[in-house]
Amino acid sequence: MKGKAMYLKALEINGFKSFANKTVIEFDSGITSIVGPNGSGKSNILDAILWVLGEQSYKNIRAKESSDVIFSGGKNKKAKNQAEVSLYINNDDKYLDIDFTDVKITRKIFKSGENQYFLNNERIRLKDIHNLFLDTGIGKQAYSVIGQGRVERIIGSSPKELREIIEEAAGVKKAKNEKEEATKKLENVKNEIEKIDYVEKSLSKRVEELKIEQKKARLYKKISDKMDTQKFMILEYGINEKKFLRDEFEEKNSEILEKLEKLEKNLSEKREESEKIGKKNDEAKKILFYKKTEK
CB proximity list for 4: less than 8 A, separation 6 or greater:
93, 95
What pLDDT is stored for residue 171 in this prediction? 55
Closest CA to 46 of 141, 148, 169: 148
The answer to whether 60 touches 69, Cβ cutoff 8 Å, is no
Mean pLDDT value of segment 113-122: 94
SS3 149: coil
pLDDT for 128-172, tens place per residue?
888 888 766 565 555 456 655 555 666 666 777 767 666 655 556
Q: What per-residue confidence (pLDDT) applies to 282?
A: 79
Can you tell me the distance from the alpha carbon of 128 to that of 53, in angstroms, rounded to the nearest whole number? Answer: 11
Cβ pair 144, 154 in contact under 8 A: no
- Is pLDDT at 4 greater than 50 in this prediction? no
Residue 96 burial (CB count, 10 A): 19
Q: Write the class of the CATH domain 7-153.
A: alpha beta
Q: Which pTM does this prediction carry?
A: 0.52
8 Å CB contact between 177 and 185: no
Give the pLDDT score at 237: 84
9: phi then psi, degrees, rounded to nearest 5: -90, -45
